[in-house]
Amino acid sequence: MFDTAIARAAALDCFSDPEDITPLGGGITNVNLLVRDGSRRFVVRLGDDIPEHGVMRWNELALSRAAEAAGVSPAVVHQEPGVLVLDFVEAKTFGEADVRDPANLTRIVELVAKVHRGLGDHLTGPVLAFWPFQVNRAYAMRLKSDGSEHAALLPGLMDTLSDLEMAVGQVDLVVGHNDLLAANLLDDGERLWLIDWEYGGFNSPLFDLAGLASNNGLSEAQENTMLEQYFEAPADRYRRAYTAMKCASLMRETLWSMTSEIHSELDFDYAAYTSENMERLNAALSEFREL
């Protein structure tokens, strides 16, 4: 796979003398490569539309360009079908422990608020909506039709999903990132960057906050601090809707992984990832039911 990807990157006409083309770790949807061209380095993301995950590359491109204009994401250098080339940022890629660091978490919440409150000003055309309840229902229908080994779990998950949607209630729409894994956060020592916009689109701000917490193992105290910082209001005001959205976020990650078990050709242990996220989902559902 990587030999073909490297050859494709080397042939891109945006480069004059590409060399030192090496795979970048961390991607579980696309093939990502680091390319040196003269004195500069670039990231090449290779990936077509992924209908089973709702990934449309025109949407990723529109949001990547808006994020660049907003100063929160690296510059888009080149685009063609199946290819997105970005400036390389010399920075540390966060792990979950980095996100949980209190000093970092404050900065991350500031970045998320900046995205939510400013990215829409830089959009030059339409982008998708990412409503997690519709996303989860679509995953469930596809998993059933694909004969997933997890099919017996789906009816119960969908009943639970309806309860969660009612608990979230009315929402305010923002332009969200919708995939706040630690690996999508970079720290260059002076500022944070947010990368990988393939799931970006209009959503409730609660989804990014819930994803940040659930994907990175934030404690309840950290969740309260995060909510109070973001909303500038007591956390209790948002607790039930937030916890419901956290469950929806974890369900989405679980169903995403179940789907990837069937369809992805990348070398990644999706079965283990499914199990890990199912455990997190069950814990969050227990918390929700106690509220």
Instruction: Give the CATH fold of the 2-87 domain.
Output: Phosphorylase Kinase; domain 1 (3.30.200)
pLDDT at 267 over 70: yes
pLDDT, tens only, 110-140: 999 999 999 999 999 999 999 999 999 999 9
Rounded to an integer, the average pLDDT of 79-95 is 97
Question: Confidence band (pLDDT; 50, 70, 90) for 1?
Answer: low
Report percent pLDDT > 90 for the chain. Answer: 92
Rounded to an integer, the average pLDDT of 99-110 is 98
Report residue 230 as tokens: 């973001």
- Structural domain boundaries in the chain: 2-87, 92-289
79: β partners: 84
Q: What is the pTM of this model?
A: 0.92
What is the structure's pLDDT at 60? Answer: 97
What is the structure's pLDDT at 141? Answer: 97
Instruction: Give the CATH fold of the 92-289 domain.
Output: Aminoglycoside 3'-phosphotransferase; Chain: A, domain 2 (3.90.1200)
Report residue 225 as tokens: 């601090």
User: What are the strands of the beta sheet with 92-93, ordered from one edge?
Assistant: 92-93, 185-187, 192-194
pLDDT, tens only, 178-200: 999 999 999 999 999 999 999 99
3-state SS, residue 213: helix
Query: Which amino acid does the sequence have at 200?
Result: G
CB 159 within 8 A of CB 275: no
Ramachandran angles phi, psi of 255, nearest 5°: -70, -35
Query: Which amino acid does the sequence have at 260?
Result: S
DSSP 109-126: HHHHHHHHHHGGGG--S-
Rounded CA-CA distance 260/145 in Å is 14
Which distant-in-sequence residues (6+ apart) come within 8 Å of 13 by Cβ?
A: none
